[in-house]
Chains A and B, each alone.
Chain A
Amino acid sequence: MSQHHNDEFDDKRLSDLYKQGATEKPSGHISHGILSAAKKQAKLNKTGWNLVEYLIGLISSSRSLAFAAVMVIGISIILQIQFDQPEQIVPQGISDISNGLPVTKMKSHSEENIADPEAVSRSLDSVSDNETTPSKPSLSKQRAKSSQPAKPAKKTYEQTLNELNRKKSEEAKQRMVERERLMQKRSQQKKERQQKQMMQAPESVFSPAPVISPLFEITPSQSTTTPACENLTNKACLSSANCLLVLQDDELICRMTRNHCEKGFVQIDMQEKQCKPKDNCKFMKSDCVCDTNETCTCSNNTPPSCELIEVAE
């Protein structure tokens, strides 16, 4: 039945005849107008932004623009390299030569300074400030002078190199002078110390006793604590003219001489004539016998001494 219905509404002959006559089409200008309107509306409808499509469209529609952009970038890079080259090399090269750095280090050092253009300008400025020659413009000033960038840079290099070498030699001289001064000062101080030590330290066993003024008196605090006498052996103490071996609390100690009587009295000699000639001095004999070649045998006995006699006024 349905087939019948379809046949009823599908007359093949009529349809063929109709289709053979159906050749009408919309005109080209209408189609073009509708499609261009649709294209405009599609741009407005576009929600996302396709970067790839945009770039491809841009490049394909304007190849000359891309070429021009590449040319401009390339030329600007070349100009920048040419412009910056003398400014970067000059100051670092000078400083490296003056510092005596090897070539390899100079290179790396210059690379550091390329990254820090302020350092370059500072070094240039500092150089120019110290010179008597016409001052070199700073990096910023040099950049402003774009007419002749290479010529002044070469001149500055030579000048600055000479000046820095001169400066370096002057500094070296100053250092030498300072060193000499220091050496002299140190030697003087050393001499003074030695002299002081000579004055304070006990004289050797065989040296003659120094002549001491009778007015010279040493305070007890100074005499008892002199390390020089304390460090001496009993035998050396007995032989010394400045130290005296005494019995204190059943112990023999070596101390500094206190008065003119004790001064110059050599205990090991046990000679009365060393003590008697001195004013107000009294020789105190002892049984203790210390031979020069043997160890002192005083043991617990009081060693001989030359004591000051107190005179009643």
Chain B
Amino acid sequence: MLIYLYLISQGTDIQTFMLNTKKENITQFNDESLIAEYCNGQHIAFEILYQRHSDPLYRFILKQCNHRTSQTEEIFQDVWMNVIKNCQQFRAESKFSTYLYQITRNKIIDHARKAISHHEADHSNDSEFLEAANNHQPDYKVQLEICIELLQQCIQRLPDDQREAFVLKQESEHTLSELAQITQTTLETVKSRLRYAMKKLREWLPGECL
């Protein structure tokens, strides 16, 4: 009560104060505990989950959708709405991030099926871009930006399954077996896909970038 009166006198918003206090405590929770808390009505738990996973997930979708922003946002929204509505379906047998990326992958596949006609990548300009990049001798900063852009272009040139494995490996901190679980394949398949993807990227990227 005294704390409450003190905060009132200091002009602090009590609701915000309580929220921040709760948030500080709940930040220490792992993903599984957070989703359980959210299912019990603690919306702060969801906020923390969202902060942890939203950016990597968005990039994963973005790369899988060939940088189509509208499609990415649609899938991204669908995934999180699925988590919100079906939080009770999550079982702690697997990690929450595994569950999240499984849903995302399924959503991407659904969208890809719907827009299969638009999915064919146009690689005609890539060779021109690479040629231009190799001929150009920029300073270090410009070179880094070009290398990043080149990597993005190379990733997009990878086959879907290899790109998926590579991006998942880079964006999330999943183990290879977890990647196998997400992509619903065997461990060896994941290893193979990753090996091929990295080999191709090393080949395509110029020596100055690596």
Contact = CB atoms under 8 A, between A and B. Distances in A.
Contacts, number: 107
Nearest to B150: A17
B186 interface: no
A61 interface: yes
A27 B73 contact: yes
A33 B169 CA distance: 28
Interface stretch (B23-31, B102-110, B117-125, B194-202): B194-202
A33 B185 CA distance: 34
Interface in A164-219: none
A46 B54 contact: no
Interface stretch (B79-87, B93-101, B131-139): B79-87
B198 A14 contact: yes
Interface in B2-60: 4, 13-15, 18, 38-43, 46-47, 50, 54-56, 58-59
Contacts of A21: 148-149, 151-152
B96 to A, nearest CB: 15
A70 B18 CA distance: 25
Nearest to B15: A60
A152 interface: no
Contact of A35 (B39, B50, B62, B195): B50
Contacts of B170: 15, 18-19, 22
A20 B41 contact: no
Contact of A30 (B4, B62, B76, B87): B76
Nearest to B190: A9
B50 A22 contact: no
B12 to A, nearest CB: 9
B72 to A, nearest CB: 8
Contacts of B85: 41
Contact of B87 (A33, A45, A47): A45
Given A22-B171, A26-B55, A47-B41, A60 B46 contact: no
A19 B147 CA distance: 12
Contacts of B73: 26-27, 30
A48 B42 CA distance: 11
Contact of A42 (B42, B149, B152): B42
B76 A26 contact: yes
Nearest to A25: B55
Interface residues of A, number: 38
A150 interface: no
Contacts of A19: 170
B176 interface: yes
A43 to B, nearest CB: 7
A20 B59 CA distance: 13
A96 B84 CA distance: 74
B191 interface: yes
A30 B74 CA distance: 9
A43 B56 CA distance: 28
B14 A60 contact: yes
A41 B47 CA distance: 13
B18 A25 contact: no
Contact of A45 (B14, B41, B80): B41
27 contacts: A5-B191, A9-B169, A9-B194, A13-B210, A14-B202, A14-B210, A15-B170, A18-B151, A20-B148, A24-B58, A33-B77, A34-B50, A34-B80, A35-B50, A38-B38, A38-B43, A38-B46, A38-B47, A38-B50, A41-B84, A42-B42, A43-B43, A45-B41, A45-B87, A46-B40, A56-B14, A60-B13
Given A35-B47, A41-B87, 14 more contacts: A9-B191, A14-B202, A21-B151, A22-B59, A22-B170, A24-B59, A27-B73, A30-B76, A30-B77, A35-B46, A38-B50, A41-B85, A56-B14, A60-B14
